Structure 1
């Protein structure tokens, strides 16, 4: 059941919205190339590093044959595109990336 939410609550939450970028990584035909495991490990190392530095606020690998993962990034879309274009899996043709502008609400978090 959905809790009752007032118009005032909606407006108050909307007023706190901050800009973020959503990076959507999809598997590409190069996924099965020779050496793919090593390239993917470097991709994972880089993504965890970006998370540790705060450039990625939320990192979500996706268990799918289509979508590889999503990341909520704290940089503007152009900065996110630049960062993700240098990703090892993107450079190797194992993944493609789409970056979308989005907003989020400070304090939102995944449940522990």
Structure 2
């Protein structure tokens, strides 16, 4: 375990926080409707495109029967919600999406 974190270290990190939005996608009971595979493929194509464009900073599909995935988005919550409401799986009723204002710190990564 590392050394204890000081109040000053916490304050210094907090000062670097940048706003993001966290989109949480959940499966609905319509997940397996007719044509679901094609709709989900278009959802995946769109999410990967948003990631490539920098609109999604972190894309994390979740291996669950309830939560489909989360995305850290570089948009305001209102903008992120509008983008996610246009998602093919959301439009088809296969997923719902909740968007939350969140913070991230420079240098954080998944690697």
Q: TM-score, normalised by structure 2?
A: 0.97
1:5 aligns to what SS in structure 2?
Answer: coil
1:13 is matched with 13
1:98 is matched with 98
Q: How far does the alpha carbon of each residue in 1:86-109 deviate from its partner, in whole angstroms, 9 at most, with x for none?
A: 000000000000000000001100
Q: TM-score, normalised by structure 1?
A: 0.96
2:46 is matched with 46
Alignment of 1:16-31 (within 5 A): 16-31=16-31
Larger proportion of helix: 1
| Runs ≥4 residues deviating over 3 A | none
Q: Alignment length, in residue pairs?
A: 111
CA distance in 1, matches of 2:81, 2:20: 12
Q: Would you say 1:86 and 2:55 are equivalent positions?
A: no
Q: How far does the alpha carbon of each residue in 1:53-94 deviate from its partner, in whole angstroms, 9 at most, with x for none?
A: 000000000000000000000000000000000000000000
Shift of 1:2: 5.4
